[in-house]
Amino acid sequence: MPRTIDTDVVVIGGGAAGAHAALKVHAEGLKVLLIVKGFLGRSGCSIFAGNLQLVNTKVSAEEEEKWLTIRTKHMGGYLLEQDYVKRANRFTESEFYPEMERRGLYIRRNAEGKFIKSEGRGTNVWAPLQGYSGTFVMELLRKEILNKRIPLLQETMVTSLLLDEGKVVGVTLLDILRGEFIAVRAKAVIVATGPSNYLATRSTGTREQCANGFAMAYRAGAQMQDIEIQWWHCSDIAWPKAWTRLHIYPNPMPATKETVRLYNSEGEMFFEQGMYPLAMQPYFLQLKHLYPHVKRGKARWNGGYFAGYTHIDPSIMEQYSYQTQFLKALGLDLSKDLIECGISWHMTLGGIRTNTETMETSLPGLYAAGGVGSHGVGTITFVSYDGTLAAGGACARARAMQPPRLPEEQIAREEQRVMSPLKVRSGDGLLPAQVKKRIREIMWEKMGYVKSEAKMEEALGQLAEVREKLVPRIGLDSLSRTWNYDWVDALDVEDMLDICELTIHSAKVRQESRGAFFREDFPYIDNKNWLRHTVMSRDGNALRIETVPVELKYIRPESEREDFLSADY
């Protein structure tokens, strides 16, 4: 048996969901162990939360409905749980903002003390710059966790969930710095590994985000839901490659009614948020407008179209945007130059199937908080709510139970799997990172924004080829166990292949288009047949796919069937 750690609750993931979960379990007086593959508050996607929505749904029913519509329709294609959206909005206004301000968050104000807001509907704010808010939120959460000496393992990869009689009773992990395999016994596990994964050549997922959370849950038998629905960002910078995650926000901007405009290669303007005043987060709409220009050769998915602030007073970007320094470093003059853009694989709307009242998954003892769950969030305040909610459930469970038994046989098998990549590459060997690159290329080329049955079949074929021809060639440069990231990459390859394939199988089932999900062979929104979730689970080595209806409690689409490209959601 490897070394074992005992705790009450394990939290996996160092973003806002994981941080809130760890703080809550600690506040409840139980033992928590926070495990982060990268670094708390530094890796993951919470650091990218660029805008904060200053919701105030308590003031009126209209305000509540406005936010319900923005989230459910414009960000969720009607697949979200509507009561959850209402509760998360309430958490945002009554807990998130006061707690973060108490910790020292500074939402940018003017000299008179008024918030700098987006004009018009006036609900976006920034702490203290557009593009930096999440970084600041995470800094404060990180410091509080460190200051409270909450047990924390960083640069530590959770490799599997441990099961005893169908219940989750702990995790196994790999300490990347020391190369040690460890087993953790826990009464409950909260997985909070985020909505974004680095699964396509152009992605917003950070380096470490390789679908590990999805993979461990799926392998343990948890149900997955709607994982075919992938948000793409429409306006991320095209080059340099390192800056792929530099987002040009389409949302309302600070202190102006104007929003960023998109232009095709001939300089023709084709999108600005003002075209859809009700869609405050017009991510899906941007892509629909880009599509015909790509078709006509006036843009490419990875360049050849542009974002511009030329119609906006340059002092706005200068004063209120973190992104401006990057654009200036490229020598761009925002009063006259445009910024070349590309699309990037951003968030999975679905994920591990969650009960939105408790964040429980289909596996007893496993909770999913934040973007890794199936409830389609993508907002730092919502994932903070999830973390708090999941911790409540996990604590109640932990209090009611005795320390579980660890499954020694499963631990031994997993140790063998984790150690198996430790072999030196041969002459024609490949580093695992090279295989990761190939997987991302396949997903970029065949599983991009525009999907079709034929392209998805090709993607499955190419991924199978990776398994057959490239994976056996994987080897490491050295067998040293000290910070051997190639070893981590090798474990990532398995998770990426499994989850990419699962995503494609799920996408083949959904024979319609909706929100972020576009099938060129089914270019309509089918509200009659497809207001449904796809639900997938492992059945031995086979895949079981079912669909279940979406509950539409307060708002619902008007038509049974709509043309996808012209619909406003």
Partner 1 sequence: MTSGNTVSAKIFRYDPAADKAPRYETLEVPLEKEMRVLDVLDYAVENAGVAVGYRWFCGVKRCGMCGVSVNGKPVLACWEKATPSMVIDPLPNMPVVRDLVVDRSALEQATLEMEPCLKRKEPYESFPEPLTHRDFEDAYRLMTCIECYVCTAACPVLSDANHREFAGPASLVQLAKVALHPKDAGERVAAALKGDIYACISCYECSNVCPVGINVLEDAIEKLKRRCAAQSESNPGAKHARIFTDLIRKFGRIHPPTLMRQSKGLMQSVSKMSMALAMYRKGKVQVRPQTVQGIEEVRKLFKAVEKDQ
* List of residues contacting partner 1 (CB under 8 A): 38-39, 42-44, 47-48, 97-98, 101-104, 106-113, 115, 128-129, 132, 134-136, 139, 143-144, 146-147, 177, 206-208, 239-246, 322, 325-326, 329-330, 430-431, 433-434, 436-437, 476-478, 480-486
CB of 105 to partner 1, least distance (A): 10
Nearer to partner 1, 304 or 403 (CB): 304
228/245 Cα distance (integer angstroms): 22
456/440 Cα distance (integer angstroms): 14
CB of 238 to partner 1, least distance (A): 10
Element (H, E) at 402: none
Q: Which residues contact 239 (CB under 8 A, 6 or more apart)?
A: 303, 340
Nearer to partner 1, 96 or 569 (CB): 96
CB of 140 to partner 1, least distance (A): 8
1/163 Cα distance (integer angstroms): 16
Nearer to partner 1, 440 or 533 (CB): 440
Element (H, E) at 268: none
- Cα angle, residue 76 at apex, residues 70 and 81 outer, rounded to 5°: 95
Nearer to partner 1, 132 or 449 (CB): 132
CB of 49 to partner 1, least distance (A): 10
Cα–Cα distances in Å, from 48 out to 37, 117, 138, 325? Answer: 17, 19, 10, 16
Q: Name the β-bridge partners of 261.
A: 308
- Cα angle, residue 162 at apex, residues 157 and 166 outer, rounded to 5°: 145
32/190 Cα distance (integer angstroms): 10
Rg (CA), the chain: 23
110/124 Cα distance (integer angstroms): 15
329 is written with which tokens?
Answer: 């470093």
Nearer to partner 1, 42 or 561 (CB): 42
Nearer to partner 1, 350 or 371 (CB): 371
What is the crossing angle of helices 16-27 and 133-147, to 10°? 30
CB of 378 to partner 1, least distance (A): 17
Nearer to partner 1, 61 or 242 (CB): 242
What is the crossing angle of helices 380-399 and 82-91, to 10°? 100
Task: Kindly tell me the burial class for residue 388, based on how many C-beta atoms sit within 10 Å of its own C-beta (0-12, 13-18, 19 or more).
Answer: buried
How many Å is the maximal CA-CA distance in the chain? Answer: 68
Nearer to partner 1, 110 or 402 (CB): 110
Question: Strands 532-539 and 224-225, how do they pair?
Answer: antiparallel
Contact 270, 263 (CB under 8 A): yes
Nearer to partner 1, 206 or 362 (CB): 206
CB of 194 to partner 1, least distance (A): 12
CB of 199 to partner 1, least distance (A): 15
Task: Kindly tell me the burial class for residue 234, based on how many C-beta atoms sit within 10 Å of its own C-beta (0-12, 13-18, 19 or more).
Answer: buried
CB of 193 to partner 1, least distance (A): 14
CB of 486 to partner 1, least distance (A): 5
CB of 64 to partner 1, least distance (A): 19
326 is written with which tokens?
Answer: 């990057």
Nearer to partner 1, 117 or 397 (CB): 117
Cα–Cα distances in Å, from 123 out to 82, 118, 277? Answer: 20, 6, 13
